[in-house]
Structure 1
Amino acid sequence: MWLVFEQPLNEKIRNYLRIESVCAQLDAHQGFPYPGSELAFFRSLFELAELLERADLRTDVGKDLERQRQQLQLWRPLPDVDQQQLDAFEHQLDSLQQQLQQMTRPTQLIKSDRFLAALRQRLTIPGGYGSFDLPQLHFWLASEPASKTQQAQRWRQRLTPITEAVALLLNMLRETGRWQEQIAMGGSYQASSEQELDLLRVKLKQTYGVYPTISAHRSRFTIHLINNETGKADNRNLPLHLCLSMENR
């Protein structure tokens, strides 16, 4: 089994990856597959709302969508380009841009919901979700499963335009890189790039029993492999796969 570790090389991509990670948790709990998943869903929802409240996020996402749209126009005259695929991407970009323009504050509807506002305040307190703290939560937990799922979907959909845009931008960023095999000599690997990087991905076999710690700048990086059992540097010569991705500028 291969494990992929990602290292963002600027604050914007770091925020995008955090949003993606919380969205994955939120969607995993949305159907309430096990007892207690409701609380996990609400915690993930509030984490996502906090990430989306950054003042510069919508500006960054809007600029990135427009930059990708312009890049598609540069690809169109090239030979052997799949025009239908470009059309599909362009339609998706246009749709997301329109939805973002129609949004005011992405989390406003979440914050104005009285039920969610009460939960958000109390869930910051350790153990603050008892029936004496949140009787409205215990009333809601007793609702029909289908009703709870539909309500969760409505809350989630309020944030969909911006989270879908982030997911698309990350997917397109990852596609700019190609995997290459390297050797970490003595458990370390160091390299530099002529172009400024935005995302570094490292792929390792789980059977090696190591994970990477990465020190990176926009044009250079160092990878040290750490033994999972000892927590110390692993000095073996081990193969790893690298993927260096950068935005279209």
Structure 2
Amino acid sequence: MNDNSDSWVTYEHPLNERMRTLLRLEFLIETAGTAMQRRDSIDSRTAVEAFIHTLQLLDRGEVRSEVIKELDRLSSNLSRLSSTGGAPEQGTSADVDECRRLLRRVGEPDAALGGVLREDELLALISQRFGVGAGTCSFDLPSYHRWLSRPYEQRLADMQRWYDSFADLRAAVLFALRVQREAQPFSSEIAEKGAWQRRTPYDEAQIQMLRLRVTCSDTVIPEISGNRHLITIRFLRQPDTMTRPQAVHDNINFQLALCSL
């Protein structure tokens, strides 16, 4: 989720493959949802590309089971927090109920998980050309060119149908990431000489995702690496696009949230 503001630039880094998949799906969901609301054909192209990338992720097969596992894990953790009186933003009864509802829904045979995307002939045709550079030009895919030339209202109807085809998956992904982000507030940190490191004790909850933000006035770029046991952050600066990023050697103030719900 891009929550950059006029004051902060926010970075998110997943610490396991499941969280990486959820963040990629969220990126595609937001891209498609934003682009399809704009009338220009170039924006419809952007939305279609996001739908096809979503389809490619879904075709990996394990996405549904991974989403179910994540909702099941969150349901247990949220229930525990609710029963032990955690922080107000954690484990609310409404979140527990919503998590259980989504878990049941995603497990249903008729759940909206992108089936229409797989069955759509136009999307299949476009997808076949994705591996070719500029392979969706008008002379490559006249049917796609014709579709892009339709009135916006007709294009929107198709895009809305594609968007709705994974409505249950979309709701599950957005819920899982929202509660993960809300579970941990940002704290102020200092990277001495441009570097910061943290070891996670074995008896602590596994960190799912790292969220980092720096002020827009600072031009630093975080280079993040990590796993469940060790997180390392190194800050770089890149004066312009022609220059390779260089390590920073002064102290950097930043804010960090280690999301471990």
**Scaled by the length of structure 1, what TM-score is found?**
0.88
Which residue matches 2:75?
Answer: 69
Residue correspondence of structure 1 range 39-188 to structure 2 within 5 A: 39-78=45-84, 86-103=92-109, 106-188=113-195
Alignment partner of 2:29 out of 18, 23, 28 = 23
In structure 2, the gaps of 5 or more residues are: 1-6
SS in 1 for 2:24: helix
SS in 2 for 1:5: strand
Which residue matches 2:40?
Answer: 34
**Residues 177-217 of structure 1, C-alpha deviations (whole Å, 9 max, x = no match):** 22111111111111222223211111111211111001212
Q: Distance in 2 between matches of 1:81 and 1:223?
A: 28
SS in 2 for 1:102: coil
Alignment: residue pair count: 246
SS in 2 for 1:97: helix
2:11, 2:212 within 8 Å by CA — same for their partners in 1?
A: yes
Deviates more, 1:134-143 or 1:207-216: 134-143
Which residue matches 2:226?
Answer: 216
Q: Distance in 2 between matches of 1:77 and 1:246?
A: 18
In structure 1, the gaps of 5 or more residues are: none
Which residue matches 1:199?
Answer: 209
SS in 1 for 2:247: coil
2:117, 2:162 within 8 Å by CA — same for their partners in 1?
A: yes
Q: Distance in 2 between matches of 1:126 and 1:79?
A: 55
Which residue matches 1:7?
Answer: 13
- Tell me the CA shift for residue 103 of structure 1: 4.3
- Tell me the CA shift for residue 79 of structure 1: 5.2
**Are residues 1:245 and 2:259 paired?**
yes
Q: Distance in 1 between matches of 2:208 and 2:70?
A: 13
Percentage identity across aligned positions? 25
